[in-house]
Amino acid sequence: MPGNFECKREQPAEKLSSSGAEQENDERACSGGTGRRGWLWSRHARIFNRCEVGRGFHVGLILTMLLACWLGIGAQTPSPSPPALNAKLPTVFVVGDSTANNNANGGRGWGDPFVSYFDPARINVLNRARAGRSSRTYITEGFWEKVLRDIEPGDFVLIQFGHNDGGPLDTGRARGSLPGTGEETQEVVKFGEPNLVVHTYGWYMRRLINDAKSKGATPIVLSLTVRNIWKDGRVERGSGKFGLWAKEIATSQRVAFIDLTTIVADRYEALGQDSVKELFATDHTHTSPKGAELNAASVITGLKALPKDPLKKFFSAKGNAVHKARLLSSP
């Protein structure tokens, strides 16, 4: 090869483990992301700028490599196009992590099929969940601020976090929150930034709830989806104490709570461990499209069991066909 060539691509801060911790997905794998071509061009521009090209190296080779990158990324599963919104209608916002919004590696989050359970002539449904986020990082990385700007009086906000809140506070992905629902804080250093104050899971959840209320919206708290982990014929019912804390927070803030963990776990156990395998993609946390559909229908059964069934008038024919849950906790 004439000349010397070294291409330094930007790498993620940390490789993800495959042990069941929630995987981070590129924004291209999340529905509702920013423009695909704009993202690709920005990425390729960064690659080009970071390449050190020796004397005599032909520019055409660089263009060929960029074209190969373009074609390779283009082979990924395309993100669903966001639905057209009617500004005159109320909106349901889904706020959470990749268990609600995930289109990578054959997986799918429940927030996508959830849309089809509602009549688009009566209400908008926006899946604003983001992969890899905790209650803490969904706020600190600016995703919640964007949602808050779009919330109008009469809207609904479904809030579900916990899968990533148990991670490290200041190492690795540094996305964990302090355990519990109290007002404790801890100062940590994240990537060389001193005096970063981390709050409890409960503090961040209350922030989401109170912010939504301040905009005239109705917050609804959900416990976690269920992981495909079994023992003695019984499926795991929630990771840690996040389900308990979510219920405590909803009760203290006087907002509705859906025990999605129990609803889904009951359905898994009725199906049996072997049948549940096909409801998951490449790990025990992220569902396949079929599993996402089951979780979405389970959210609907939970919504229908809430006092006064607040979303009843907005369901599509598909939503109306779903029976309400028998097991649900609400304040």
Question: pLDDT tens across 223-275, in order?
Answer: 999 999 999 999 999 778 999 999 999 999 999 999 999 999 999 999 999 99
- Tally of domains in the chain: 2
326 found inside a domain: no
Backbone angles phi, psi at 251, to 5 degrees: -65, -45
In a domain, 226, yes or no: yes
Average pLDDT over all residues of the chain: 80
- pLDDT band of 194, cuts 50, 70, 90: low
For residue 326, what pLDDT band results from cuts at 50, 70 and 90? low
Q: Of 130-134, 169-173, 180-184, which range is least confident?
A: 169-173
The per-residue pLDDT for 83 is 57
Q: Which of the four pLDDT bands, split at 50, 70 and 90, describes residue 286?
A: very high
Query: Which of 150, 283, 284, 330 is labelled catalytic?
Result: 283
Q: Mean pLDDT check: name the lowest of 85-99, 161-175, 258-272.
A: 161-175
DSSP state of 278: G
Q: 214 catalytic, yes or no? A: no
Q: How far apart are CA 304 and CA 49, in angstroms?
A: 54
Give the tens place of pLDDT for each residue, 1-33.
444 433 333 333 333 333 334 444 433 334 344
Classify burial at 177, counting beta carbons within 10 Å of its beta carbon; exposed 0-12, middle 13-18, buried 19 or more: buried
Average pLDDT over residues 272-293: 96
Residue 79 falls inside a structural domain? no
What confidence score (pLDDT) does residue 46 get?
40
- Please indicate, yes or no, whether residues 99 and 49 belong to a single structural domain of this protein: no
> Are residues 45 and 156 located together in one domain of the fold?
no
Residue 213 counted as domain residue? yes
Same domain, 55 and 192: no
| 195 pLDDT above the threshold of 90 | no
Q: What is the per-residue pLDDT for 188?
A: 87
What span, in angstroms and rounded, lies between the C-alpha atoms of 63 and 72? 14
Task: State mean pLDDT over 289-309.
Answer: 97
Task: Identify which of 96, 180, 102 has the alpha carbon closest to the alpha carbon of residue 133.
Answer: 96
Is residue 329, in this structure, part of any structural domain at all? no
CB 17 within 8 A of CB 53: no
CATH number at residue 183: 3.40.50.1110
- Stronger pLDDT, 195 or 5, i.e. the higher one: 195
CB of 236 closer than 8 Å to CB of 230: yes
What are the φ/ψ torsions at residue 234 (nearest 5 degrees)? Answer: -115, 140
Query: What is the residue range of 184's domain?
Result: 91-320
Are 296 and 179 within one domain? yes
Q: Is the pLDDT of residue 50 over 50?
A: no
Tell me whether residue 82 is in a domain. Answer: no
pLDDT, mean of residues 168-173: 82
As to burial, measured by CB atoms within 10 angstroms (0-12 exposed, 13-18 middle, 19+ buried), residue 179 is: middle
The reply to whether 67 and 190 lie within a common domain is no
The reply to whether 98 belongs to the active site is yes
Domain for residue 328, yes or no? no
Q: Does residue 55 surpass a pLDDT of 90?
A: no
Distance CA 250, CA 222 (A): 9
Per residue in 109-126, pLDDT (tens digit) is 999 999 999 999 999 999
For strand 156-159 and strand 91-95, is the pairing parallel, antiparallel, or unpaired? parallel
In a domain, 268, yes or no: yes
How far apart CA 170 and CA 188 sit, in angstroms, is 6
Residues 133 and 190 in one domain: yes
**Residue 205 pLDDT class (50, 70, 90 cuts):** very high
110 and 211 co-located in one domain: yes
Are 67 and 114 in the same domain?
A: no
pLDDT of residue 71: 36
62 and 156 within one domain: no
SS3 198: strand
Active site residue 323: no
Contact at 8 Å (CB) between 237 and 226?
A: yes
45 and 133 belong to one structural domain:
no
Residues 99 and 131 placed together within one structural domain of the fold: yes
Task: Return phi, psi of residue 189, to 5°.
Answer: -110, 120
User: Scanning the structure block, which residue is given the tokens 């289109």?
Assistant: 103
The pLDDT of residue 234 is 96
Per-residue pLDDT for 321 more than 50?
A: yes
69 lies in the same domain as 207 = no
